[in-house]
Amino acid sequence: MPTLVAFHAHPDDECLTTGGTLARAVDEGHRVVLVYATRGEVGEVPDGLLAPGERLVDRRVAEVTRAAEALGAHRVEFLGYRDSGMAGTPDNDHPDAFCRADVGAAAEQLAVLLREEAADVLLVYDENGNYGHPDHVQVHRVGVAAAALAGTPQVLEATVSREAVRDFMARAVAAGLMPAEEVPDLDDPGEALGVPDVLITTRVDVRPWAARKRAAMAAHESQIGDLGPFLELPPEVFREAMGTEWFIRRGAPPGHRDDDVFAGLDRRAG
């Protein structure tokens, strides 16, 4: 069976855009490997969460271990770069920040893992990193270069349907869960999130794996500020709201559509 490698910027990034796809792949008999560029050293943490002397980086590694167990991933690796923080912050200038890494050198690190695993599918982010985070944008650059070096057959860019986000926000406003004035203009370059539907090639139904996706998100206790609003949704609402994951299959012809990240591969291979 084909092997899938998912390349992410920080612990917790595996959940929102790929968690259901990863759990589904495991249940369908595939080998699933998680690779992180950083250990999320710069992530915010709720007051009082860390024990005396506990470092955030150690907590985040422990959390990703639990999340990987929830999803069923077979291997977790870190490239060893430092979290760059949000765009425009001083952390961008740290000499070890992932956003400053030499793309060729980082790609060769990832390519070593792709070769070891004889990876058939690599998941990265879209060219805007879904929402412009410098580490996410760098994941796109490094991942695409690594796949070329390793000869990985399929590369898919995890993204978000802009239309689906608009619909979700409209329903949240109608339900009184979100003020209308807080709804961003997703087409504004400064607020850009995901891509228009016309660019999406692959829509994966992960509703049967929603509980596993939710469990992986809940494992990241230190990031509850980002993930909490999703975890507060009733299970049935979460299942529908988070039950589709979107990808752009690199190299697919115009108009291509499928519903499986392994589409086009011989599933008997491996």
- pLDDT band at residue 193, thresholds of 50, 70 and 90? confident
Mean pLDDT along residues 133-162: 97
Size of the chain in residues: 270
Number of domains present in the structure of the chain: 1
- Asked whether the CA dihedral 62, 88, 193, 136 is positive or negative, the reply is negative
Q: Which is nearest to 36 in space by CA: 72, 68, 3?
A: 68
Residue 256 located in a structural domain = no
pLDDT in tens, 66-111: 999 999 999 999 999 999 999 999 999 999 999 999 999 999 999 9
Q: Which is nearest to 155 in space by CA: 252, 236, 15, 47?
A: 252
In this prediction, residue 267 carries a pLDDT of 54
- Asked whether the CA dihedral 55, 57, 59, 61 is positive or negative, the reply is negative
Percent of the chain exceeding pLDDT 90 equals: 72
Spatial separation of the C-alpha atoms in residues 229 and 126, rounded to whole Å: 24
Question: Residue 135: what residue type?
Answer: D
First to last CA, the chain: 5
Q: Which is nearest to 130 in space by CA: 186, 212, 193?
A: 193
In this prediction, residue 125 carries a pLDDT of 98
pLDDT in tens, 149-173: 999 999 999 999 999 888 878 877 8
Residue 207 located in a structural domain = yes
Question: 2-11, 83-92, 236-245: which has the highest mean pLDDT?
Answer: 2-11
Mean pLDDT along residues 163-184: 80
Give the distance, in angstroms, between the CA of residue 12 and the centroid of all CA atoms in the same chain: 8
pLDDT in tens, 8-22: 999 999 999 999 999
Residue 113 located in a structural domain = yes
User: Which strands, in side-by-side order, build the sheet including 202-205?
Assistant: 75-81, 31-38, 3-8, 121-125, 154-159, 244-249, 202-205
In this prediction, residue 270 carries a pLDDT of 44
Query: What is the extent of the structural domain holding 31?
Result: 3-160+195-249
Mean pLDDT of all residues belonging to the chain: 92
Q: Give every CB contact of residue 231 below 8 A, 6+ residues apart in sequence.
A: 214, 217, 218, 224, 238
232 vs 96, more confident: 96
In this prediction, residue 26 carries a pLDDT of 98
Residue 166 located in a structural domain = no
Spatial separation of the C-alpha atoms in residues 224 and 247, rounded to whole Å: 25
Residue 177 located in a structural domain = no
Spatial separation of the C-alpha atoms in residues 157 and 140, rounded to whole Å: 8
Q: Is the pLDDT of residue 243 over 60?
A: yes
Residue 200 located in a structural domain = yes
Residue 236 located in a structural domain = yes
What is the pTM (predicted TM-score) of this model? 0.92
pLDDT in tens, 41-57: 987 788 888 888 899 99
Residue 168 located in a structural domain = no
CATH number of the structural domain spanning residue 35: 3.40.50.10320
Calculated CA dihedral for residues 192, 197, 200, 205, nearest 10 degrees: 110
